Structure 1
Amino acid sequence: MLTKSTASRITATGVYLTGFGLFFSYAFFATSMYNDYLPPRFELIVLALVLPLLLGKILAFDHYQLGQWLLILTGLALIAVVARTSGRYILLAVYLLVIGARRVSFERIAQTALLVGLATFVLIFASSLLGLIPNLRFMRAGTYRNSFGIQYPTDFAAHVLYLLLTYAAVKKGRFQWYDWLIGVVAAWFVQVYSDARLDTILIGILLVLLLGYQLIRHGKRLAIWLSWISIGAMPLGAALSLGLSYFYDPKVKWLADLNHLLSSRLQLGREAFNRYDPKWLGQVVQVNGWGGTEGFKKFTGQIAQSQYFFIDSSYLTVLLSFGIIVAVILLGGYVWFMWREVRQRDYLLPLLIAVTAISCIIDQHLLDLSYNIFLLALLADTESFALPATAWKRGIS
């Protein structure tokens, strides 16, 4: 028989997952070419459905002290100001999804994201093969890069990477032979059909870290090293991304070679610093990429092409678009979370987040929940990911 508190928690979880599922399905769908067929400002309709659910969960089920309420409201006010200055009002939903995840099992969140994400991904992929939506094909160095219904090939590859990360979370890192095969085939596919070299490397890194996690599960001392590396992954990734972009000089050979390897990302990062100074509360940052219908027309010369300018680095995007305060809070929050998880013998989530930290050097998905659901783990219930203390002690004795 369920107690009153248990029944309330189940109800709170259901309300939250309903709101998250609606938001995630829309956000994922909006990264596809189906976005061209959605009504203008359709996201406002989605927010009108999602925000009351999230607010209802927070107000009805989450019990905070006065000081905690003041902190939450201060954060909400900060995000509202940043959303206005940056023109990215979707930040309000992201903030409430993070706050609302309190006491909700991250395992349940990951399961919901995997189910909804895979269903949406298959629908988009099949629609592009059937000609219901375009499969944009970009040419680079004589090789076609397919987007398979997503708005850009690297975004398609990023979806594959983040779905694999979510899959690893759902499996709790306990991979069987067929799970490794799925990862290898995914890496091969995005390399051959989308020419997404960096995301292919990231999938390889994910598989290597998951191999390391198998050793951790058996109590090997390698866990200590992997744990410390994972804790510093996010600030290290930010330092590398921002530092290399800021100090980029094409006259320095190793920087020029690295810029070429990273598909001109350092050059574009330096250009971003030339155009915009970091602000405390963010600003509107105008970009001109090749994704989607309009971007593809520019790429193929069907319409007049303005200068290409796109910020791929998540760290640079957050700093310039959302401001210094949000960037510092976000990095601090991730370091605190990963330190806490390691102390609680959860070594899997920090390792998975370490992969997203590397990804954020080359992709702009740190605050994009249609890709990166691990942001929601910061306040969610992650107890089910902790290794048993008894088994751990037996393994290292």
Structure 2
Amino acid sequence: MNTYLKDKVRWVNNKVISGEQLFFFAFTISLIASFVVNTTFMIYLRINQVNWFNYFALFLLVIKIYIFDSFNWKEYIAITITLALAFFSWKNTQINTVMIMFGFILGAKNINFNKIVRHYFNVNFVLLLLIILYSLLGIIRNLAFFRGDVFRYSLGIDYSTDLSAYVFYLCLAYCYLNYRSLNWKKFIGILIIDTIMYLITNTRVDTFLILLIVPVIVLATSSVKTKMKKFIVSSFWYLNIILPYTFVLLTYYFTFGNPIMVKLNRILSGRLTYGEEGFEKYGVTLFGQKIAEHGWGGAKGLTMMKNNPFGYFYIDSSFIRLLIINGTLLGVITLFIIAFISIRETIHHDYLLPSILFLVVLSSMIDQHLLEITYDPFLLSFLSIVPFNLNGGSQNDKIK
């Protein structure tokens, strides 16, 4: 019977569908469903209905992991425990994004990472253009938020900072795929996009991070490296560990009695305050917990901003959310994945991915998108096949 099942799986793999095709089918479904959840289309849709598409995608990934992929028994145990932790986190928090992301991280084994990023870029680029068009045509709402007397438009996305985050991650994906041809013309193009996004969304963090993308990637991929350049690019791997830890400490020990912390909190739009409040009110759990958050996103959030602005409470930082909402165990696993990818690539003197993750970590200290598949495809490099971007090798050619 065991031999028969193996032969059957082999026949399915060779004749009907491959593990790669199954992965990209699931990836497409989840990218579309997760994107729609973050738009004003949700005024007309029920979240549970859309989430069923994500659950179906996760089901396909489980099939790929346990039938199409090949792991040893220790790896299968580790995978099963991780998926179980993600499942319990979903049940405890009623937030499915982390569970979906871990499904894709573990399901990306033997998939070329360049193909993953290219697929992510193509799908999300089209979706973003369509949603902006729909909002400008009045098919869906273009929510207008405000900071002081400055209006911040979201162009069909739930919130203006989410729109700028989509642009940030798309710019990251574009530069990752085209790092060899980055030049001053493309830098000016990205600068123009960045300026337009700032005028529309008035988002400071993503505006600054988009400006950093080209110089950081050019520095990381330059063939000519001085001692200073080598020191900087070799520092990305441990900065990707130290920065989240430092931000957690700053948040946990935040006090209005420290003028430096107060100024930093003001720069970060009060994120240290809300994070510290989260630690104080809810504490840290192993498996996650459901907490009451009231953010500005969506039509309901806009109504609250206008009528009850003091009711706002939302934990933005991905790393603080992991500890307070999703659970410490998943937080440790996430940090391990980031560290593993960064160290693995640095050992091979390939600094492209560590530099990308450095920018992702900077963003994730402020925003909540680290473990959302609709934004961040870069953690999928954990088990996928990462081409030798800087040091040659048979996989160095651009994926067609």
Same fold (TM over 0.5): yes
2:250 maps to 1:240: no
Give me the whole-angstrom Cα distance separating, in 1, the residues matched to 2:53 and 2:105: 17
Q: For residue 263 of structure 2, what is the aligned residue in structure 1?
A: 257
The question of whether the paired residues in 1 share the 8 Å contact of 2:117 and 2:377 is answered with yes
Q: For residue 381 of structure 2, what is the aligned residue in structure 1?
A: 377
Counterparts in 2 of 1:153 and 1:203: CA distance versus 1, 3 Å: same
**Structure 1 position 268, deviation (Å):** 1.3
Question: In structure 1, which of residues 273, 282, 300 is the aligned counterpart of residue 306 of structure 2?
Answer: 300
Question: Which residues in structure 2 correspond to 1:1-397 (within 5 Å)?
Answer: 11-215=18-222, 217-218=223-224, 220-222=226-228, 224-301=230-307, 307-388=311-392
The question of whether the paired residues in 1 share the 8 Å contact of 2:144 and 2:154 is answered with yes
RMSD: 2.4
**Structure 1 position 214, deviation (Å):** 4.5
**Structure 1 position 39, deviation (Å):** 3.1
What SS does the aligned partner of 1:243 have? helix
Give me the whole-angstrom Cα distance separating, in 1, the residues matched to 2:133 and 2:388: 35
Give me the whole-angstrom Cα distance separating, in 2, the residues matched to 1:190 and 1:264: 22
Deviations 1:350-369 (A, max 9, x none): 10110000001110111111
State the TM-score, normalized to the length of structure 1.
Answer: 0.90
Q: For residue 6 of structure 2, what is the aligned residue in structure 1?
A: none
Deviations 1:301-339 (A, max 9, x none): 2xx566110111111001111111111121122111110
Q: For residue 394 of structure 1, what is the aligned residue in structure 2?
A: none
The question of whether the paired residues in 1 share the 8 Å contact of 2:304 and 2:311 is answered with no
Give me the whole-angstrom Cα distance separating, in 1, the residues matched to 2:189 and 2:383: 30
**Structure 1 position 349, deviation (Å):** 1.0
Unaligned runs of 5+ in 1: 390-397
What SS does the aligned partner of 1:139 have? strand
Unaligned runs of 5+ in 2: 1-10, 394-400
The question of whether the paired residues in 2 share the 8 Å contact of 1:349 and 1:385 is answered with no
**Structure 1 position 181, deviation (Å):** 2.3
Deviations 1:281-315 (A, max 9, x none): 111122111110000011122xx566110111111
Deviation larger for 110-119 or 129-138: 129-138
State the TM-score, normalized to the length of structure 2.
Answer: 0.90
Counterparts in 2 of 1:7 and 1:349: CA distance versus 1, 3 Å: farther
Give me the whole-angstrom Cα distance separating, in 2, the residues matched to 1:192 and 1:65: 52
**Structure 1 position 221, deviation (Å):** 4.7
Counterparts in 2 of 1:173 and 1:249: CA distance versus 1, 3 Å: farther
Letter in 2 for 1:374: F
The question of whether the paired residues in 2 share the 8 Å contact of 1:173 and 1:213 is answered with no
What SS does the aligned partner of 2:311 have? coil
The question of whether the paired residues in 1 share the 8 Å contact of 2:136 and 2:142 is answered with yes
Deviations 1:207-264 (A, max 9, x none): 220231352x345555532333210233222123211111211222111111111111
Deviations 1:34-64 (A, max 9, x none): 1222234023420353133212322332112
Counterparts in 2 of 1:85 and 1:114: CA distance versus 1, 3 Å: same
